[in-house]
Amino acid sequence: MKSLLAVIVSALVALAAAGATRAAEFRSVGEKAVVLYDAPSSKAKKRYVLSQGYPLEVVVAVEGWTKVRDAKGALTWVESKHFGDKRFLLVNVPVAQIRERAGDSAPVTFEAQENVLLELLEVARGGWLRVRHRDGEGGFVKITQVWGA
């Protein structure tokens, strides 16, 4: 009986560890404006509206609705059909430096202010992301300077 209990406890610990290490999934708003609700229903209380490109962390998806977390940590629900195919990141530091190449010594191409959206083009090595500003300028930003990756 003790060995069965040990096997069950080991399995539960392994499952918990696997869940804790899973990478966060992010999606971005795909329409000009999307309403977020406090429950998975269009009849639920409306919480706020987000604009196109805003990144959201997926918590769980249920029957056409997705529970999401925004950059400030608020949990809300959005209809799953409102996500776009492109991924965007939100600058979460006062000024993010976008560099020519992935690396601290690379020249700065441009700077982006806090809350600016950058399109995610590619995940590079060493904690860098290749991004593009809506004006067309591109480069690499440190993952610690943005939210949504």
pLDDT score at 1: 52
Whether 7 shows a pLDDT value over 50: the answer reads no
3-state secondary structure 78-98: EEHHHECCCCEEEECCCEEEE
Which residue range(s) make up the domain with 75? 23-82
Q: 24 pLDDT band (50/70/90 cuts)? A: confident
Where would I find the beta strands (DSSP E) of the chain? 25-28, 33-37, 46-51, 55-62, 65-69, 75-79, 88-91, 95-99, 108-113, 117-123, 128-132, 138-142, 146-147
Q: Are 38 and 53 in the same domain?
A: yes
Q: Are 76 and 100 in the same domain?
A: no
Q: Are 135 and 94 in the same domain?
A: yes
User: Tens digits of per-residue pLDDT, 31-87?
Assistant: 899 999 999 999 999 999 999 999 999 999 999 999 999 999 999 999 999 999 999
Query: Is 0.85 surpassed by the pTM of this model?
Result: no
Q: 88 pLDDT band (50/70/90 cuts)? A: very high
The total number of structural domains in the chain stands at 2
